[in-house]
Amino acid sequence: MPRSKFLLVLALLLLLSIPATAVLSDGHGLGEGTATVLDDAGMSDGLEVSLAGASAPDEGKEYAVWLANDDQSAFLRVGTLDVGEDGSASLTFDSSSAGYTGENLIATYSGFAISEEDAGSSPSGPTGQGAASDVLEGDTLDQARALVMAMADLRTQLKAASMNAGMAAEAESLEDVMSYVEMTAEGLDGAIEQAAAASAAAAAFGATGEEGSGRSVHAALAQTTAENAKTYAMMARDAAQAALDQDDVALAKIFVGPGGSSVVSLSSAALSGFDANGNTTLEGNEGGAMQAYRHAQQAVAWSPRAGGLPVLATPTPVATATPIPPPQPTAPGLPGVGGDTVSPVVLMAIAAAAGLLVIGGTMSIRNRTRRVRIKS
């Protein structure tokens, strides 16, 4: 190849490589991390963002953090992300933050995004370069919401059961003790069923994540702790039944507790877990409904990656055929409005009358003809 052509080809290749090089060396990565919902004043009403390996925004710019609803028609700005010298970045959104609404964030929003905006600006949604984002979509979104709700319901039911168990322990009369124990037993029955449903929800959602990912790890822990809660709830229910079998208040209270293996202690373990090995730390297989709920929130966390939110496809409108009413019979000169209004009986009467007119006319003509012949 002549040298001139070779140089031209080389120059062309260099020109084509410039955009890719610019993108790869942009230097605006936000590293890796998570955005996890948390409970503050309500259920899943707060958000905790934690990133590592982030680079600072351009001068005069800032990182705005957003949540997007399912169709990206509404955004909630949860704050501005500050990047430290070591590349770490964190943000907590709670009831003390500007823009706090108290709504359940995982139930309302499915997308998480960080965009580079003009410092001090207040757009209603991301307008600048998309630095990082993540979206829960389709069946994964449905399963994520179902998991958190299932664990929340389990926690609520065991809170009520544990409270009633405590009231039974404080009651003095046999009648009051039995009343509270019955309510506790009913609540535990419901919690046992709910724990099974919550465990299944954790298994289903965990299957959507890669092995070893935060999603699969925390979903597995949520499943394990939900099963723990179920086991303790079953033991507490058995203790409650033993208390109900007593006809003496002192004997009944032995089973009610708060001693070991009592309704009170076992209900508490089902709700809050139990440090079985005594190392002052609730490990994965020692938690209860409270820990299962938190693991569920961690399992559904967003894991932002470089780039903005994906552009949603606009649904193609489907034409709907306009129904055409069946034609109605019409009389000459009259519009066909409504149904047939002439009954068969009337039609028969009209036909009979016409027949009589014909017969009568014929007979009249014959009679006239006879009279003319007779005269002639």
Domain residue extents for the chain: 32-135, 139-300
Better pLDDT: 300 or 341:
300
The span from the CA of 80 to the CA of 95, in Å, is: 16
CB contact at 8 A, 117 and 127: yes
pLDDT of residue 208: 95
Average pLDDT over residues 33-51: 98
CA 153 to chain centre: 14
Least confident of 8-12, 55-59, 215-219: 8-12
Average pLDDT over residues 14-29: 42
Question: To 10 degrees, the CA torsion angle through 148, 101, 158, 208?
Answer: 0
Half-sphere exposure of 355 (CA within 13 A, CB side): 6
Residues 32-135, CATH architecture: Sandwich (2.60)
Q: Which residues contact 213 (CB under 8 A, 6 or more apart)?
A: 303
When computed from its CA atoms, the radius of gyration of the chain, rounded to whole angstroms, is 39
Q: Is residue 337 predicted with pLDDT exceeding 50?
A: no
The span from the CA of 119 to the CA of 112, in Å, is: 20
Average pLDDT over residues 153-177: 98
Look over the chain and give the mean of its residue pLDDT values, rounded to a whole number: 85
284: confidence class by pLDDT, cuts 50, 70, 90 = confident
pLDDT in tens, 77-132: 999 999 999 999 999 999 999 999 999 999 999 999 999 999 999 999 999 888 99
Q: Is residue 362 predicted with pLDDT exceeding 70?
A: no
31: confidence class by pLDDT, cuts 50, 70, 90 = confident
pLDDT of residue 285: 83
Least confident of 90-104, 146-160, 220-234, 306-320: 306-320
pLDDT of residue 242: 98
**Top-confidence range, 28-37, 286-295, 357-366:** 286-295
360: confidence class by pLDDT, cuts 50, 70, 90 = low
Q: How many angstroms separate the Cα of 313 from the Cα of each of 40, 71, 135, 136, 183?
A: 35, 10, 14, 16, 51
Six token digits for residue 341: 């209004």
pLDDT of residue 30: 82
Of residues 256, 240, 245, the one with CA closest to residue 168: 256
Half-sphere exposure of 270 (CA within 13 A, CB side): 36
Average pLDDT over residues 362-372: 52
Question: To 10 degrees, the CA torsion angle through 6, 11, 16, 19?
Answer: 150
Report helix, strand or coil for 42: coil
Q: Is residue 374 predicted with pLDDT exceeding 50?
A: no
Q: Is residue 272 predicted with pLDDT exceeding 70?
A: yes
Better pLDDT: 341 or 45:
45
